[in-house]
Amino acid sequence: MKPVKIGICGLGTVGSGTFNVLTRNQREISARAGTDIIIEQIGARRDNPACDTSNSNVTRDVFDVARNPEVEVVVELIGGTGIAKELVEEAIANGKHVVTANKALIAEFGNELFAKAEAKGVTIAYEAAVAGGIPIIKALREGLSANKIEWLAGIINGTGNFILTEMRDKGRDFADVLKEAQELGYAEADPTFDVEGIDAAHKLVILASIAFGMPLQFNSIFTEGISEIAPEDVVHADEFGYSIKHLGVARQSEAGVELRVHPTLIPKKRLIANVDGVMNAVLVKGDAVGPTLYYGPGAGAEPTASAVVADVVDLARTLGSGQQTTVAHLGFAAGSLQDFPILPIEEIETAYYLRMEAEDKPGVLSEVTKILSGLDISIEAVIQKEPANGASDVPLMLLTNRTQEKNLLNAVNQIEALDAIIGQVTRIRVETLG
């Protein structure tokens, strides 16, 4: 079979990793693809000392790659949704397949780009866009294709997971760990995308669309970050038998689809609760197979390159044999996607962890429980601490059973209005994932 020629656009962390993996493992990759894969051209604004491209055809204009008649597959690794979108559109217009690791591009513009690709008879492959080296896209689209996916939950941002792990294991506060994460290169100078859940939201939208067979709906997702998580909440969660994780949750019911990213208490006995540091994991519940867990590095040069190259191999197999690709972009034929309603966060139902500061006097817990009971919210567990160093107030922690968020918010408003409650009530959602 004839060799497949590709063009790599971007020589940053993932781009250099992709170049190195392709060149280092050329024999194994060619044997698996059934044909040689040749890096025909590289588009990059500058060279990267992490890879030796001295013998490669390098251009400073990435659009040269998209227009090169010899290039069959454009590998977009420049990131963002500006030039990257223009590049992918140019590649499609020129009849080229695209491989990308760009979760923001897929989550925000995937519907539009997939339609253009289908009209031109080309494919956009994006395994590396979610959870780095974990092949979760392939698992959902192919390995679990016999299943009706009931729900999925994922730790899909390594920076946030690193911060929460350090807070739990070493008793550190958020700001302290965030600074270290930036020094280690896990977090950007502006960490908003990671710690406020935007990065995880991009990934969750992609997973949910594949799982449930619906168009991408990034603007409908609920997102809450971890910057307000206090060390004492991590400690109290542990006392209740839980770990706090920044979790993306997608669940389908007759009422609609839940799409939400937020801090979550997870029972420590669950495997996903023990995913620590910068690692990622996705738990998927299918009606036939039951729960399945996918674990591994969610970022980094070569873990992400592993997924990029896997997509290149898939395309090379079909191109080399002259066949057409058969897996739809979102795993469902384009005409069968359904526009399910996305449930507002007020309508979702979970259990809750509540922490409040109360005056040290009789009857306070009784007043709190009366408010909860009046809204049909039952209490699962209570921890009440002794006053510290003669203080006049005590911390009070509760775990509730499941209730709708709007009921819980009503209860919190009433509790905060009590004379004996000092300040605001901290609330964190709880998922058992059973």
Catalytic machinery residues: 203
Residue carrying the six token digits 């972009």 = 329
Tell me how far apart the alpha carbons of residues 55 and 377 are, in angstroms, rounded to a whole number: 68
Cα dihedral 382, 383, 386, 389, rounded to 10, equals -130
Residue carrying the six token digits 């090379």 = 316
State both tokens at 338: 């359904």
Look at strands 4-9 and 73-76 and give their pairing: parallel
Tell me how far apart the alpha carbons of residues 99 and 192 are, in angstroms, rounded to a whole number: 26
Residues paired with residue 124 on neighbouring β-strands, in sequence order: 98
Q: Show Cβ contacts of residue 31 under 8 Å, excluding neighbours closer than 6 positions.
A: none
DSSP structure string for 59-89: ES-HHHHHH-TT-SEEEE-S-SSSHHHHHHH
First-to-final CA distance of the chain: 48
Contact of 198 with 219, CB cutoff 8 Å? no
What does residue 339 show for φ and ψ, rounded to 5 degrees? -85, 75
